[in-house]
Structure 1
């Protein structure tokens, strides 16, 4: 069972070990999936404090929770807090011919 907030990255590397996923590739990939939406920021609120992070987020919803897949420096990051999120992470990685790695 996956524990709360285990972070995974979806990544693919060239022979020199550099990440090879591009923002354009990810935008094209996720645009074809009806269950994802692109956002250029992600907001979260807790105890009356609201935080907004700018970036490239591909949002997926499970039950009543929005799950951000964040593109950053050639990789996608996702915090897994539900078994369905891990399943979706594996599915995305397979489709992008990439690996998913905890950490």
Structure 2
């Protein structure tokens, strides 16, 4: 079971930036990252291609090797799963550049 992480500004104090991360801000930020693409739907295919599930939302898909790892914008925060060890440094980079913190949950 993987952990889910949240990139948030909820814990920021005494900063001039908003305490939420807007979708527009995310779109502008990730547009400058060649290894990310925006998608309004994230599709997951089960092992062996037997089952497929599509989830609607605002996803910024990080291409890492053969993997496509979703960073989901929801309610002013970004969420990402820590199932792949490579996610942790990328998540910390994104949080730092957005002037945000990382929490689990």
Q: Which TM-score applies when normalising by structure 1?
A: 0.87
For 2:29, the equivalent position in structure 1 comes to: 29
Pairwise CA distance, 1:83: 2.1
In 2, Cα distance between equivalents of 1:26 and 1:88: 15
Q: Which TM-score applies when normalising by structure 2?
A: 0.86
| Unaligned runs of at least 5 residues, structure 1 | none
- Secondary structure at 1:30's aligned position in 2? helix
Pairwise CA distance, 1:61: 1.7
Q: Where do 1:71-90 residues align within 5 Å? A: 71-90=73-92
| Unaligned runs of at least 5 residues, structure 2 | none
- Secondary structure at 2:86's aligned position in 1? helix
Shift in CA distance, 19/72, structure 1 to aligned 2, threshold 3 Å: farther
User: Which residue among 7, 21, 36 is the counterpart of 1:10?
Assistant: 7
